[in-house]
Amino acid sequence: MSHEPLPVLITGASSGIGRAAVEYLAARDFQVYAGARDRGALEELSQIPNVTALRLDVTRPQEILAARQAIEAKGTGLFGLVNNAGITEAGPLMDVETDALRAQFEVNLFGVHAVTRTFFPLLHQSQGRIVMISSDSGFFATPFVGPYCASKFALEGYSDSLRRELTRHGVRVILIEPGCIATAIWDKARRNIDPEKYARSLFGKEALAVGRQALAKGQSAGLPPRAVAESIHLALTLAKPKLRYIVAKNSLEYKLLKILPGSYVDRLVHKKIDRALSLEKAG
């Protein structure tokens, strides 16, 4: 790759994986455009060397266009786009309001599409790269996180189609599939584990038990966000990057889940639910 500073836009840069990617790439002399919604986060990001902070809500077309105009005004062009912005809607699917499901897709899929379309001309000009931050939930659908899983499955399909369309035109598309990562998302998840929320739900006991076990695992055993940032760096700099990078301690287990019969995986999931319920009773 060229030794010139590579200009890269990262969405959802205020915290977690996005913030780690900003810091990791900026420290390696990338010209990083960090998109975020929060004013305080924008001020913090703007203090990092090699970083230009941009107000960017991926659900607001005017902000997406303004971000592109700001980058064009800088005259750097754009080599990389890291579609990281995302939200998580959780709960039993039969309890999830349709509007909540729409909101999930508005950010995790439609926002990705809006940003990618807007910046594609710059990426095409540079023969650059699009890095999609997916999840293990993009190939392994866990119960009680259905909206999020559905959006990430959709992102995987979107990304595969996009890659097969763009590769012939010189733009690479790479998927990053993080597993359990220790970020502030687990603090947000804690607020959703509310017995009152599921008081009248047919699925309340299972959802609460599984949620508490996932929270405990995420806070104690998650990889640091830097591990994802390292894979993003590879995706942007290797001459021939992989199509997908699984970032997890148990990557072999995930690879097996992709090829095992669905009925077998279902039994494994049901056993984990039973184990979570047993731990709830024991606690």
The confidence score (pLDDT) of residue 255 equals: 84
Catalytic residue among 24, 33, 148, 198: 148
Using 70 as the pLDDT threshold, list the residues of the chain that sit under it.
1-3, 185-192, 218-220, 283
Report all structural domains of the chain as residue ranges with CATH numbers, in order of start. Answer: 7-282 (3.40.50.720)
Characterise 16 by phi-psi region: left (phi > 0), alpha (psi -120 to 50), beta (else).
left
Tell me, rounded to whole angstroms, the distance of Cα 114 from its chain centroid.
16
pLDDT value of residue 3: 65
Point out which residues pair with 53 in neighbouring strands: 34
pLDDT for the residue numbered 252: 83
Query: Would you give the distance in Å from CA 224 to the centre of its chain?
Result: 14
How high is the pLDDT of residue 220?
67
Angle at 72 between CA 27 and CA 3, to 5 degrees: 40
**Is residue 33 flagged as an active site residue?**
no
What is the pLDDT, as a whole number, of residue 84?
98
Radius of gyration of the chain (CA): 19
CB count in 10 Å sphere of residue 263: 7
Q: 83 - beta bridge partners?
A: 132
Enter the pTM of the model. 0.94
Per residue in 106-131, pLDDT (tens digit) is 999 999 999 999 999 999 999 999 99
